Amino acid sequence: QSTVNGILACRLLAGIGLGVELVTIDAYLVEIVPKHMRGKAAAIMHAIAYLAIPLVAFVSYLLIPIDPLGVAGWRWVVL
């Protein structure tokens, strides 16, 4: 997007999508995983979700100042 309103609209849609994903992943987990493994599966799923935030921050810290392969570092972070 090249306009402020376009960027804000895309961010709004992405935020709605992420919010819906957080609610539905638990429901799908209950349906798919056997009863005796649900707690462990939920813990693993939440651990992966919460560890992604600091991991992306660290990768951003490393990649944004440089241009690997001639591509802007922020583009690598988005990829």
For every one of its 79 residues, what pLDDT tens digit does the chain have, with 9 covering 90 and above? 789 999 999 999 998 988 888 788 888 888 899 999 999 998 998 898 889 889 989 988 988 888 888 888 888 888 8
- What pLDDT is stored for residue 58 in this prediction? 92
**Both structure tokens of 65:** 């100042």
- What pLDDT is stored for residue 10 in this prediction? 92
- What pLDDT is stored for residue 51 in this prediction? 92
Q: Which long-range contacts (CB under 8 A, 24 or more apart) does 50-55 make?
A: none
Sequence letter at residue 73 = G
- What pLDDT is stored for residue 20 in this prediction? 86
